[in-house]
Chains A and B, each alone.
Chain A
């Protein structure tokens, strides 16, 4: 359904082009939920912005972004608007910032219906109320008349999900939908997203820096590092059969509920950005297995044991750890 091939994106930072995505490859099947996991600055949000062509002025994009065979990057303005309106919906990180504070919730949720679909005002209000009920907001009729500042963060995020559903898209891009929310609300909102996408057979790209959350919600997980994907594997297998040194490091650095709190293992060094990476593997500066070959050339994302891994030494490392 969604295919990204060798996508390079560079942003114009004070006159100099800085790469933020390098050689990004992603595939999403119909009805699948793909988790996109990585540290801050690894390019997760930029991936969403590339798919929806929401990049800032002066950004340079190459490669291919295909949605059901159509090249998103080559779409003309009218096509792009139709694509954004009916094919894809984005749930943003901070609902308080992503919703216009001067419009009532009803206007916000029903706006796409009224403006892009020509649905009548009364009908839009009725459907908006249904959608609010579907995302678990009680007393929907009253909520429709309220302004964003009268609703809690969790409630607003549900309203945003409702507004996305209003357009009946087939692909939902959720960009850290729970990061700005209270911990107790996070589970509810994730639960709603998960239920709705199963009920409506939607495809979803779920972005988070919480590896466990991604493993719980998604069918497959793609781990990003410095602007590209380093490992893709099904959520069920990733926990036990992670093969990329970065993924293994990530899994090892999580606190575990069943163990007493010891000092957590950390990946040495700090995350590098795409523009800091040399000609070799981006992870080379922090990798315990790095060799000259890793510094010389960039590994490709290749199939290995049921997943995709971007590492020169993946076979050697695997054999050694098994022995």
Chain B
């Protein structure tokens, strides 16, 4: 039993590599922090104690307090929730729109595919942040308009990759074999094609998650998405008052979490979609350079027939 478990852990490590495993562990920590924020947080994230502002590390405030005396650790923990929820929604919605579009285009080809491709190109031309700023200008600031705008802007980011991969599958013999067994578009596309390209889709989704996290943090920093008293990494970074007074901790820590999360998501996304880094001459495989596309590598990894 124990051996089986160890074997599984080793298999995951082999699949993700050192950098990917590190990234996965970091993200797991973030998710746990978000889920158990209310249990783990030593204090209420929004209640300040003005007499104890800008405190250093102490037993009652492990990471100190900010300008109005709020516990930084608690704010970081609760901030994980809003900071991860936003991008999760963005990726979820854009996948829900983008994947069916991409599969339809890949299946029918011709005019349908051209139409899908042109629409995606059109949306791709709009910068996500600009679209979000525009939406906020129309509907007022808040997480919802920002998420809606980014969801639309991220559709091509996912759909273009899915479409390219699905088109490749579309012309493969097993798809013909399924069609000639009398299966319909829906079943072949969802149960067979999508399953075969799942690594590419999930990898791209992880990378999109990282970008969306960064975009939403930027918008919150500008005061356009998550609003001020709510604990959010982007909101916390925008605390310029602390910087002016020479206290870096309240700004630096959420900034580091943003950088760490985005980096981890990018690394993990690349590993999931099958990219294998070349070992770096000095730092070994931890900071390896990625060479060759994922699909090439997968072809090389596949057992010879």
Contacts and interface: CB of A to CB of B under 8 A. Distances in A.
B137 interface: no
B172 A86 contact: no
Interface string B76-116: 00000000000000000000000000000000011000000
A39 interface: no
B278 interface: no
Given A57-B110, A115-B187, A149-B303, A100 B174 contact: yes
B192 interface: yes
A83 B180 CA distance: 9
A92 B177 contact: yes
Q: Number of contact residues on A: which range applies?
A: 20 to 34
Interface in B188-202: 192, 195-196
Given A57-B110, A103-B192, A86 B177 contact: no
Contacts of B305: 96, 153
B182 A98 contact: no
B182 A82 contact: yes
Contact of B180 (A90, A111, A116): A90
A221 B173 CA distance: 26
Interface in B133-182: 172-174, 176-182
B183 A54 contact: no
Given A84-B180, A112-B182, A167-B182, A102 B196 contact: yes
A27 to B, nearest CB: 22
B180 A100 contact: no
B182 A101 contact: no
Interface in B249-305: 302-303, 305
Q: Number of contact residues on B: which range applies?
A: 20 to 34
Interface string A82-96: 111110111011101
A192 interface: no
B196 A112 contact: no
A42 interface: no
A302 to B, nearest CB: 33
B229 interface: no
B195 A102 contact: yes
Nearest to B178: A100
Contacts of B181: 84-85, 89, 111-112, 116, 163, 167
A231 to B, nearest CB: 28
Contacts of B184: 81
Interface of B: 109-110, 172-174, 176-184, 187, 192, 195-196, 302-303, 305
13 contacts: A57-B109, A84-B181, A90-B180, A93-B173, A97-B172, A98-B177, A100-B174, A100-B178, A101-B196, A112-B181, A116-B182, A160-B177, A163-B181
